Structure 1
Amino acid sequence: MTTRYETEVLICGAGAAGLTLAIELARRGVPFRLIEKMDDAFRGSRGKGIQPRTQEIFEDLGILDRLVAAGGLYPMPREYRPDGSFSEKAPFEPSEPSAAEPFHIPLMVPQFLTERVMRERLLELGYEPEFGCELVSFEQDEDGVTARLARKSAEEVIRVGYLVGTDGGRSFVRKTLGIDFPGKTLGVRAVVADINLTGFGRDAWHRFNEGDMERQISVCPLAGTELFQLQAPVPLEGDVDLSEDGLTAMLTGRTGRKDVCVHSVSWASAFTMNARLADHYRIGRVFLAGDAAHTHPPTGGLGLNTSVQDAYNLGWKLAAVLASRAPAALLETYEEERRPIAAATLGLATKLLDATKRGDSRRGREVQQLDIGYAGSPLALDAPERRGLVVAGNRAPDAPLQGSAGKTRRLFELFAGAHWTLLAFNAERNLIAPRAGLHIHHIGAGGDLADSDGYFEGAYAPEPGQWWLVRPDGYVGAVVSSVDVERLDGYFATVGLVGETEVSG
């Protein structure tokens, strides 16, 4: 018997994680509701860095060009000395884009602009957040979740298949589930504020007293706006004056500059830095994603990016199970894959915070998140066991190929969308039957694609007769030889890639 729900998924929290999940479900035709207890959208710049791996995700979601147009690149940090002189050094270790990694430096897009672009994309797909709608209670059983929602004028009770809490570090969903959120307070409290000011140019990221956690302060022009973002550590206890006069006094006192004046404050927050990780990402039919599952210090610009990647992982799995193609056990892989990533990211962000305390704010490849993968996942199959540049569970690199019709085709173009992609390298045709949700491409003699310039071979180091199965989230699911190709049948069943006879039967 089929259980009927008012909608399949309720997403609680319309920040970056909730919006990513909503876009993923919308483009797969999964009905959902996205609620947000605040009366309107978040107004701050807080998560302003978009790392290369997240740029790849946003390209797949169809919004990367819009985000680049809305934001820009990070300005050069300018570190001032007590005598007023300064030095400048690049904020990131130099790297160049490549065919395999087309995006190589972070973008700066204030969080409120990122989320605005995401809401516009969601509206194109026929959905929008419900602001001023709060989840006040929920209960679950084997068949679904019953949730009570409250607005200013009314309440409603709805029945849904799944609930996902993307409701931030103080998550109501997590607390209601009784999931512990262990970790530590990192002994640093800071102010971040979006301000209009005079006294600093927009040509640099102005930084003073680096390494001095009592006097350090920075002012960074926010790309795509007329605003600057002020960042400064403050005492762990006591009130902080976040008014125009209060922030002007802080700037004057810490920089020695009397020509600086804050004229307006668009948004400001004083917060204590924490590193915490939920003990579980799921209980039954209720999931956690984003800051509800993990909170990071802002060093490295990893929080928003990790949250987006949580939702990107969960979205296709929920859709596959709700379509009755994949077994419910597929959902177990969400926590198995994402929780270790958050644990490692927390460690990295904390390490970078320690470096910042010493005055070292330079960042390297470790923050780009291009090396994140799921090699130990139940969804990673190498047959036979493989060693090399890319193995099952790794991020699938990009590469330009030549289509038989004469046009250059990027692998990322072929991967984009809600489907799986199967790449056959100099392999016998017709070994794998077509099936819904799977795009098959043959690379090599007689195939629809040719690796004329060797970029695919350079990135993947494939062997003749190999089959490469790429997941909807851009990771390699399986690499099998022609001898082992029948092992893909079991894999397909695990993830919901059923053939025509299986669907009709």
Structure 2
Amino acid sequence: MTDVLTDATTGSRAGSRAGAPTDVLIVGSGPTGLTLACDLALRGAVVRVIDQRSEPHHESRGKGLRQSSLDVFRRLGVAESLTAIGDGEVVLRKYFDGEHINDTPAGGNGILIGQWQIEAALRERLAGLGVTVEYGARLADITQDAAGVRAELADGGVIAARYLAGCDGGRSTTRKLLGIPFEGSTEAEPAMVVGDVRAPGLSRDHWHQWFTSEGGGTMLCPMPGTDTFQLQASPETDGHGRLLPPSLESFQRLFDRHARMPEIRLTDATWLSTWRVNVRVAGRLREGRAFLAGDAAHVHPIAGGLGMNTGIEDAAALARTLGAALAGQNGEEVLDTYQSERLPAATEVVADTARRYERVVEAVRTPGRGIEAGLE
């Protein structure tokens, strides 16, 4: 195979030829769905991508691409643009009780880059293949028979396709409509608050990690190609022990408590969210002609940065499976190969990241240790 697959627009079937029957309907336009769409379009499939959001987001979210994902993107023709933005040499600066303890290099197996930047590069590549994401399209029902899948949208529209791929995240509507169980556990309370902020005056040469002997911590990671940091911190509680929602004011109080740098004032919080420990795997990845990939199929702790990357690997595997099926190779047998390959992989990643997360939680209690424990 060449480094970049041949554009389907020069072949027998362009990515989204007007009036051509849809081969694959992809629900969700995160990294998993966009990777799948690009891969299938380059293989000559007619694809459509729908997303219930009204527009693309601009949030750092998953922020690391491993080498395996870059290998996939190299085939798709987007790796060069991403490596031009991303940072491959990340240095973790560790503090304890406000004092700088040490610096730990943590690069060498990929790049640091914001999820929104990855999605933007994939959308641009997909547009070059004649496919654009259809926003404001919420999936409402799925029916299927031996010939294909019928997706009903909330606005009354209907899309018929030969296959459907649910890449619509941990709260996947696709998975729920298919009746596929999401087996595992979810912690009741958030483990972290997260967001994107600016921190004028703070060095952008390091991923800053402040932890304290009293417990808890705050981290600020400089996002390449921007002037923002991704903030991750222990949740804040009120005087009664109740969790406070994420806000710029709360972020500042958490930063002041852990970093003890009064000269630094956080500004412009453009993303405010919480993260809780989810350890779940879908009971199956295929229901007839419908498939699950990415967070729709598995969610797990963030330690090790494997979430988005596992979804990208899912997309590459599903593209191979559906590409072979669309080419007429062995029908049911080829369709089964996706689950047989990716379900064991997902199960192992979930178990592995749970172990990594436990190591990180233990490591940050020791001065000079940090999230690198999840990479070991």
State the TM-score, normalized to the length of structure 1.
0.66
Aligned to 2:16: none
Q: Are the counterparts in 2 of residues 244 and 263 from structure 1 also a CA contact under 8 Å?
A: yes
Q: Are the counterparts in 1 of residues 294 and 311 from structure 2 also a CA contact under 8 Å?
A: yes
AA aligned opposite 2:147: D
1:45 and 2:60 are equivalent in the alignment: yes
3-state secondary structure, aligned to 1:182: strand
Give 1:206's match in structure 2, choosing from 199, 205, 208.
208
**CA distance in structure 2 between the aligned counterparts of 1:364 and 1:204, rounded to whole angstroms:** 18
The 4+ residue runs of structure 1 with deviation greater than 6 A are: none
From the superposition, tell whether residues 252 and 333 of structure 1 become closer, same or farther in structure 2 (CA, over 3 Å). same
Q: Are the counterparts in 2 of residues 219 and 229 from structure 1 also a CA contact under 8 Å?
A: yes
**CA distance in structure 2 between the aligned counterparts of 1:109 and 1:326, rounded to whole angstroms:** 39
Q: How many residues align?
A: 348
Aligned to 1:362: 372
3-state secondary structure, aligned to 1:261: coil
Shift of 1:5: 8.1
* Alignment deviations for residues 308-343 of structure 1 (CA, whole Å, 9 cap, x no partner): 110100112212211224433101010000011111
1:288 and 2:292 are equivalent in the alignment: yes
**CA distance in structure 1 between the aligned counterparts of 2:206 and 2:67, rounded to whole angstroms:** 22
AA aligned opposite 2:259: T
Q: Are the counterparts in 2 of residues 197 and 262 from structure 1 also a CA contact under 8 Å?
A: yes
Shift of 1:210: 6.4
Q: Are the counterparts in 2 of residues 5 and 159 from structure 1 also a CA contact under 8 Å?
A: no
**CA distance in structure 1 between the aligned counterparts of 2:286 and 2:302, rounded to whole angstroms:** 25
From the superposition, tell whether residues 283 and 235 of structure 1 become closer, same or farther in structure 2 (CA, over 3 Å). farther
AA aligned opposite 1:88: D
**CA distance in structure 2 between the aligned counterparts of 1:225 and 1:58, rounded to whole angstroms:** 22
AA aligned opposite 1:276: R
> Whose RCO is larger (CA < 8 A, sep 6+)?
2
Q: Equivalent residues in 2 for 1:39-438 (5 A)?
A: 39-82=54-97, 84-91=99-106, 104-150=108-154, 154-186=155-187, 189-209=191-211, 214-234=215-235, 238-358=242-362, 359=364, 360-362=370-372
**CA distance in structure 2 between the aligned counterparts of 1:219 and 1:32, rounded to whole angstroms:** 39
Q: Are the counterparts in 1 of residues 216 and 234 from structure 2 also a CA contact under 8 Å?
A: yes
AA aligned opposite 1:146: R
Give 1:24's match in structure 2, choosing from 39, 49, 52.
39
Q: Percent identity?
A: 36
**CA distance in structure 1 between the aligned counterparts of 2:46 and 2:204, rounded to whole angstroms:** 44
Shift of 1:82: 2.4
**Structure 1 gaps, min length 5:** 93-103, 367-505
Shift of 1:64: 0.9
Shift of 1:60: 1.0
AA aligned opposite 1:353: Y
3-state secondary structure, aligned to 1:20: helix
Shift of 1:107: 0.3
* Alignment deviations for residues 372-392 of structure 1 (CA, whole Å, 9 cap, x no partner): xxxxxxxxxxxxxxxxxxxxx
**CA distance in structure 2 between the aligned counterparts of 1:207 and 1:89, rounded to whole angstroms:** 11
* Alignment deviations for residues 38-84 of structure 1 (CA, whole Å, 9 cap, x no partner): 00112211111100111111111111110011222253111113262
Q: Are the counterparts in 2 of residues 189 and 235 from structure 1 also a CA contact under 8 Å?
A: no
Flag the structure with larger Rg.
Answer: 1
Q: Are the counterparts in 1 of residues 98 and 260 from structure 2 also a CA contact under 8 Å?
A: no
3-state secondary structure, aligned to 2:372: coil
AA aligned opposite 1:250: L
**CA distance in structure 2 between the aligned counterparts of 1:238 and 1:139, rounded to whole angstroms:** 44
* Alignment deviations for residues 238-266 of structure 1 (CA, whole Å, 9 cap, x no partner): 45343322211221122222112111111
* Alignment deviations for residues 454-483 of structure 1 (CA, whole Å, 9 cap, x no partner): xxxxxxxxxxxxxxxxxxxxxxxxxxxxxx
**Structure 2 gaps, min length 5:** 1-18, 365-369
Shift of 1:134: 1.1
AA aligned opposite 2:206: A
**CA distance in structure 2 between the aligned counterparts of 1:238 and 1:69, rounded to whole angstroms:** 44
**CA distance in structure 1 between the aligned counterparts of 2:179 and 2:223, rounded to whole angstroms:** 39
**CA distance in structure 1 between the aligned counterparts of 2:340 and 2:213, rounded to whole angstroms:** 38
Q: Are the counterparts in 1 of residues 359 and 373 from structure 2 also a CA contact under 8 Å?
A: no
**CA distance in structure 2 between the aligned counterparts of 1:321 and 1:263, rounded to whole angstroms:** 51
Give the CA RMSD over aligned residues. 2.1
Aligned to 1:485: none
Of 108-117 and 345-354, deviating more is 345-354
AA aligned opposite 1:204: H
**CA distance in structure 2 between the aligned counterparts of 1:137 and 1:210, rounded to whole angstroms:** 49
3-state secondary structure, aligned to 1:259: coil
Q: Are the counterparts in 2 of residues 72 and 224 from structure 1 also a CA contact under 8 Å?
A: no
From the superposition, tell whether residues 149 and 332 of structure 1 become closer, same or farther in structure 2 (CA, over 3 Å). same
3-state secondary structure, aligned to 2:174: helix
**CA distance in structure 1 between the aligned counterparts of 2:131 and 2:347, rounded to whole angstroms:** 33
Bigger proportion of residues as helix: 2
Q: Equivalent residues in 2 for 1:456-495 (5 A)?
A: none
State the TM-score, normalized to the length of structure 2.
0.87
